[in-house]
Chain A
Amino acid sequence: EAEVAQSPRYKITEKSQAVAFWCDPISGHATLYWYRQILGQGPELLVQFQDESVVDDSQLPKDRFSAERLKGVDSTLKIQPAELGDSAMYLCASGERGPSGANVLTFGAGSRLTVL
């Protein structure tokens, strides 16, 4: 079964440092999402790509977060500088249109960030 790959699985960093997360979506999925999940809460969308273009980054803190998907395949999410409140699970998902007609998301295992 095709999977969304994410790395690293775990990252511990000190505040003010830079961190980066990588995602490789399921082959052929044009839509890619980055979500942030704070412990005990549901995922919240940070950024959505359609191929290499950003189609929604309204909830991305652009002063410190950036995301790119240069060739429309894999993607990188960067945080610089990291703050204590950035500690969370960062989930990548890719989507394809399902039988219901809506975009069905498949999530990766996530990258857990701890900022000290």
Chain B
Amino acid sequence: GENVEQHPSTLSVQEGDSAVIKCTYSDSASNYFPWYKQELGKGPQLIIDIRSNVGEKKDQRIAVTLNKTAKHFSLHITETQPEDSAVYFCAALTPSGYSTLTFGKGTMLLVSP
């Protein structure tokens, strides 16, 4: 099955800095890569996603890049704010049968004022 690895496990930045979280996946058939943000006591919330036929996608301060050859994708957050502090999960969708979403272990991002 698919295996998604995510780094780093924790990331501390100063407000205004950029943050980058990286993920690798193992199944070359995976074709959809969402990123979720999970705040304390809440369920994960989709913040951005990308399909395998696109190399980069941006939405205001967040962007995702995908390198299909290397089988890795990254989340970039610019001009970080304290409210960006949360746990971020990457995931990969393998299109077999009804498709299965496999998550990374998460990155705890702490943005200090």
Where the two chains meet, the residues of A that have a C-beta atom closer than 8 Å to any C-beta of B are 4, 31, 40-45, 48, 50, 55-56, 91, 93, 98, 100-110
B side interface size, CB within 8 A: 28
Smallest CB separation, A47 vs chain B (Å): 11
Question: B100 — which chain A residues lie within 8 A by C-beta?
Answer: 45, 48, 56
B78: interface (CB < 8 Å): no
Residues of chain B with a CB closer than 8 A to A40's CB: 105-106
Q: Point out residues on B near A: beta carbons under 8 Å.
A: 4, 6, 31-32, 34, 36, 41-46, 49-51, 89, 91, 93, 97-106
Contact indicator B45/A107 (Cβ below 8 Å):
yes
A106–B34 CA distance with the chains assembled, in angstroms: 12
Complex-state Cα separation, A40 to B87, whole angstroms? 9
List of B residues within 8 angstroms of A107 by Cβ: 36, 43-45
- Across the interface, A104 reaches (CB within 8 A) one of B41, B46, B104, namely B46
Q: With the chains together, A50 CA to B4 CA distance in Å?
A: 25
| Other-chain contact of B41, A44, A45, A48, A109 (Cβ < 8 Å) | A109
Please name all residues of chain A whose beta carbon is closer than 8 Å to the beta carbon of B99 when the two chains form the complex. Answer: 102-103
> What are the residues of chain B within 8 A of A104 when measuring CB–CB?
34, 46, 49
- Residues A101 and B51 in contact, CB atoms below 8 Å apart: yes
